[in-house]
Amino acid sequence: MLKRALAIVLAAAGLAAGAAVHAAETVVIGQPNWAYAKVMTNVLKVVAEDNLGLEVEFVPGTHPVFFKAMDQGKGDVDVHPDVWLPNNQGFVDEYVNGKETVALTSPTFAAMDAFCTTRAAMERYGLASVYDLTKPEIVELTDRNGDGKGEIWMGAPGWASTNIHKVRARDYGFADLYELTVSEENVILAQIDADAKAGRVVVWACYLPHHIFGMHELVVLEEPEHDPEKWSVVDASADPEWYEKSYVATSFPPISSQIAYSKRLDTAAPNFVALLNRIEFGTQLINDWSSAVAVDERDPEEYAREWVGANQDLVKSWLGM
């Protein structure tokens, strides 16, 4: 009886230990709200759960929320899958280079930030450059409420690029001529779609890769070649006077997306860290994922599982197989 009781106790202890190990290997991925990121996070979930024996959960949020949670190292958020640099350099300086609580992978795809309009607006009204935005006729064409100011979307709340574009609008000389609007991306995408179909002029702070470029004939407004001497961005989360102290009178430098992860994963899930560091998505893949969700209206989870099944060679390379 004593041996049997001891065996039961040991078995129970083993189960408890196994449960503890299992809990430690739950990975929480921050899920941004743009289309391709929903596929990206689900692809990571499918690959990690099916091949590495992990449990993956999602938490919605923004750059500041994700980085603060990764810094704390408590597992509230372990991964931010889409960190654009140099847009988010302030967070990298604080948490990666400063506190050293967060790590970055190599670039996973190339990107760009700019101002865009339709090809029809460029050809009909000569809207080809950011400096053309100072023309009275362009301001009038984008004035939707008759208040004498045009409208240009700067980005969504919580995007680092939103603040950078506001500074660029000021330093390019057209900020006072426009309402610099900030809203969730779905609002401007609906507006772009409607205006492009109706032949109206629309201007917005754009980024590529993006599925909207596959839906309409759009153009990127010309800007001066990037000049590091005219690029001085102060992080809004670090200084309340970021707008006054920043100066950006140039185009963006080359942009890349990288995956950020909490260094707690180095010990909690080293196999997952190895996976993250092998990933390279590529620009075309991001375009495909964006289009699948935003244009084809596919369910991100269902689509991600299908994609993983159809692209095993690429997935195996991420797994080091």
- pLDDT per residue as tens digits for the range 103-139: 999 999 999 999 999 999 999 999 999 999 999 999 9
pLDDT at 238: 83
| Closest-CA residue to 252 (of 12, 47, 87, 90) | 87
CA triple 79-85-90, angle to 5 deg: 80
Answer whether 300's CB lies under 8 Å from 42's CB: yes
* pLDDT tens digit sequence for 212-256: 998 999 999 999 999 999 999 998 888 999 999 999 999 999 999
Answer whether 35's CB lies under 8 Å from 215's CB: no
Using CA atoms, how far apart are residues 84 and 112, in angstroms rounded to an integer?
A: 9
Answer whether 63's CB lies under 8 Å from 158's CB: yes
pLDDT at 237: 81
Does the pLDDT at position 19 exceed 80? no
pLDDT at 158: 86
Does the pLDDT at position 94 exceed 60? yes
Answer whether 49's CB lies under 8 Å from 56's CB: yes
Using CA atoms, how far apart are residues 34 and 89, in angstroms rounded to an integer?
A: 20
- The whole-model pTM stands at 0.83
pLDDT at 203: 97
Domains of the chain, earliest start first:
24-110+255-318 (3.40.190.10), 111-248 (3.40.190.100)
Does the pLDDT at position 1 exceed 90? no
